[in-house]
Structure 1
């Protein structure tokens, strides 16, 4: 017997439980898909098309719905000789400015033509924009540009001003750019510059969190394909759905929980996946989700987390948001990043509290100072620094914070409670 043997009793086909799996149909998003279809219909009719922005937390179906709709759009557009359609998809996960997004778009367009990539440095922003317009015009027709996780660009939103106006400003003649922006931040539009808000003329589609019934509907067909008959006990899928609904309402979380429960059962050579395996999987994933929650924060969210970690390294916690804000602005200045208002920093702190990353304390000092909140990390400082150091933009600052914490003997290396 070898160390590794193929599973014969739990998983029949684990692909439906993979993050990259694209289902044949999209469940529990009928209203959103209907709005999406109406927003895309002008492309088929050869009419002016509004930009489209999708908002919702991670795992609420924005990306999978976009891939589903664009796949159908491309197939249907091919039936019409007078519809010239291309799609371009760029993830903004590691892009923090319009300049970087424009470079990524140029290189994506050039890759399809087998042309040399352009460097991420050495060009002015306007030069990169001009190269982008040249590549778009060469392609011609309607070009749908999907900018996934667009909120990462923060206040550097010039590209959202330039692309929608490219045709009216005669930067392009043969191309009609249409932007589809996907954002995890419901407040993203509120932080755009006034000129961008006026220019975008976008359709907004909100993707709310799933409830337990919706998550069961999403999980059931995947479970039927993924597991051998009779392996799942009857309460497994409902329990996975309930755990995810109570936490984030994320289909991704529910699917990962089901897969993890199956993998634990497989490792123990069990014949069935039971509720106990789901509960064990939930404990395991909760630890991983804290890391993921930190990794998936926007650039602004990371800057706020960085500021809190700095005060944690000096043992200056819990700390008020107004004091935290001063450090946050200094970090943004050091990173050459735009800073947001103190109110938005509190919004980011609220999001981190919901993710279980920080603790919030309400203070009431009566008439003299009134009510206010104080904040501190609710996860080990070392875990926060590990995540920040794995993010290129924050690596240097995180290193400084780590040195400060070591000097003050405040760096907790033991993550056993995590």
Structure 2
């Protein structure tokens, strides 16, 4: 008998719990789906598609709903002889309109006709893009997932107006922009706002009931019968609703709990497995987040951790700067200027290691941010071990270390 054997007790299809799995039916998003369907309706009528802007936190169903509805739209378009092409582009690694245009052109070209990432004049790239789009013909819907990574918005203006500007004759093009950044729209130029945000759909965080429905749907396929009791589903949903209303977190938690059940040769997944899974995922998230920081990021984080243990948070960035400079002095490292130090605080907030709250004290006090630690201190100390050894400890940090051994 070999070392590796198929699991026949817990998981039936583990991949169903993964982020890239596309369910056949969307649950927990009835209102959003109805508004989305209404925004896409012109396509099936053969009319110019609306430009749609979706925003909401990560893990609230924006991309899943888009994939699902575009799949349905393609099927219905074929039935009614509507010529439809959909293109999906993740913009995470694309920060200019030039890069986006190159990627779009390559979506329509064969492998031996692909463009290089750089080396062409902008006007030529634009001409190639219009030629490719017009060569497709009919209705084209372009999905820009994580559209907020595009730093210049010229392409978001040019594509919706391409037909009006006589750049396209045979094709009608619509854009769907998807963003996790609620404030991204505010940073767009007014002319782009009026075109890209023709139809706006906000996806709120899932509540516990909606997360339970999602988990039940996936668990019925992912696990064998009677392996995941209702209380396990409820606990995973409750944790997800409390954290961020993020379906991905709840699904990851359920999958990790299943993995632990397999490791322990358990007969079913239990609430104890969920608790163990939550601790394991939290540890992994912190370790991965801290590992990805620069040395200066570690020093900023350690300064915030000190202030947290001294019960001085929430705290303004200018007050964190004082402690950060002290930490740098102990480490014999030159400190960053306040603006660059604030950039590192912003990164910590983006990673979920810290939280950032905007305060507005009016004309007298002005507007500013306050920062707090949003992560388990014990796990942070473990992840920052080298920094702690280099800088040393305060009385509050030593007390924390003594408590945890």
Q: TM-score normalized by structure 2?
A: 0.77
CA contact (8 A) 2:48 2:173 kept: no
**Aligned partner of 1:151 among 148, 151, 155:** 148
Q: What is aligned with 2:21?
A: 21
Q: What is aligned with 1:172?
A: 168
- CA separation of 1:373 and 1:185: change in aligned 2, threshold 3 A: closer
Instruction: Answer with 1 or 2: which has the greater Rg.
Output: 2
Structure 1, residues 351-388: CA drift from partner, whole Å, max 9, x if none?
Answer: 9548542266999xxx99789655588779xx99xxxx
| 1:125 Cα offset (Å) | 2.5
- Extract unaligned runs of 5+ from structure 2: 308-314, 322-335, 381-385, 394-400
Q: What is aligned with 2:297?
A: 309
Corresponding residue SS for 2:85: strand
Q: What is aligned with 1:6?
A: 6
CA contact (8 A) 1:39 1:52 kept: yes
| 1:133 Cα offset (Å) | 0.9
Q: What is aligned with 2:156?
A: 160
Q: What is aligned with 1:259?
A: 255
Q: What is aligned with 2:98?
A: 99
Q: How many residues align?
A: 362
Q: What is the distance in 2 between the residues matched to 1:411 and 1:306? A: 19
Listed as ranges, the matches of 1:195-274 within 5 Å are: 195-200=191-196, 202-274=198-270
Q: What is aligned with 2:47?
A: 47
CA contact (8 A) 2:62 2:203 kept: yes
Corresponding residue SS for 1:238: helix
Corresponding residue SS for 1:235: helix
Q: What is aligned with 1:275?
A: 271
Structure 1, residues 320-366: CA drift from partner, whole Å, max 9, x if none?
Answer: 55798x969779xxxxxxxxxx9xx89x94x9548542266999xxx
CA contact (8 A) 2:139 2:171 kept: yes
Listed as ranges, the matches of 1:327-342 within 5 Å are: none
- CA separation of 1:290 and 1:94: change in aligned 2, threshold 3 A: farther
- CA separation of 1:361 and 1:188: change in aligned 2, threshold 3 A: closer
Q: What is the distance in 1 between the residues matched to 2:203 and 2:232? A: 26
- CA separation of 1:272 and 1:377: change in aligned 2, threshold 3 A: closer
Structure 1, residues 3-41: CA drift from partner, whole Å, max 9, x if none?
Answer: 222212111222321222111110011111111111111
- CA separation of 1:240 and 1:354: change in aligned 2, threshold 3 A: farther
- Extract unaligned runs of 5+ from structure 1: 296-301, 332-341, 385-404
Q: What is aligned with 1:131?
A: 128
The more displaced of 26-35 and 286-295 is: 286-295
CA RMSD of aligned residues (A): 3.9
CA contact (8 A) 1:92 1:147 kept: yes
CA contact (8 A) 1:309 1:377 kept: no
- CA separation of 1:123 and 1:240: change in aligned 2, threshold 3 A: same
Corresponding residue SS for 2:177: strand
Q: What is the distance in 2 between the residues matched to 1:86 and 1:75? A: 11
CA contact (8 A) 1:258 1:278 kept: yes
CA contact (8 A) 1:100 1:120 kept: yes
Corresponding residue SS for 2:160: helix
Corresponding residue SS for 2:63: helix
| 1:164 Cα offset (Å) | 0.7
- CA separation of 1:362 and 1:150: change in aligned 2, threshold 3 A: closer
Q: What is aligned with 1:57?
A: 57
Q: What is the distance in 2 between the residues matched to 1:127 and 1:61? A: 37
CA contact (8 A) 1:306 1:328 kept: no
Q: What is the distance in 1 between the residues matched to 2:125 and 2:230? A: 56
Corresponding residue SS for 1:3: coil
CA contact (8 A) 1:313 1:411 kept: no
- CA separation of 1:77 and 1:3: change in aligned 2, threshold 3 A: same
Q: What is aligned with 1:84?
A: 83
